[in-house]
Amino acid sequence: MIREITENDFDQLMKLYMQLHDNPFPEKDQHIMEIWNSILADKNHHIIVAEEDGAIVSSCVCVIVPNLTRGQRPYALIENVITDEKYRKRGLATACLNFAKELSRCQNCYKMMLLTGSRQESTLKFYEQAGYNKNDKTAFIQWL
């Protein structure tokens, strides 16, 4: 099942995120829960998940950014694309990205952008097969 995150999904999402850049499971303190609640309350911040066997096994984030150009049409940013290593190659991340694409279309976005730090050919090919291209824009990152 592909759906948006719910309030009760925090622990499962954080467990999945442990496979993303080797993140540790965060302490559930006031700070992290304020971030979580802020994300849940933000109508432009969408965490999309794939659920199988009662567990969240794949996810991506889609943030809709209001915009004053392009006829005031917003654009979407995709981040934190992850699938549990035991569930890969089953189309779950593609399904999450497709959900994000439909959500972006419904919000009248004119484009979606996705950055990856991966240099693995299989990952780059996956994003290309999902409809993203690496030729139209050049990305620059400044780490803070």
Which of helix, strand or coil describes residue 32? helix
Residue 3: predicted pLDDT? 98
Bridge partners for 82 per DSSP: 59
Each residue's pLDDT, cut to its tens digit, for the chain (144 residues) gives 999 999 999 999 999 999 998 888 989 999 999 999 999 999 999 999 999 999 999 999 999 999 999 999 999 999 999 999 999 999 999 999 999 999 999 999 999 999 998 889 999 999 999 999 999 988 888 999
CB 60 within 8 A of CB 70: no
Contacts of residue 139, Cβ cutoff 8 Å, sequence gap at least 6 = 115
Give a yes or no: residue 138 inside a domain. no
Total count of domains within the chain? 1
Give a yes or no: residue 43 inside a domain. yes
Check which CATH number belongs to the domain holding 61 and give it.
3.40.630.30
Domain coverage including residue 78: 2-129
- The pTM of the full predicted model, rounded to 2 decimals, is 0.94
Give a yes or no: residue 89 inside a domain. yes
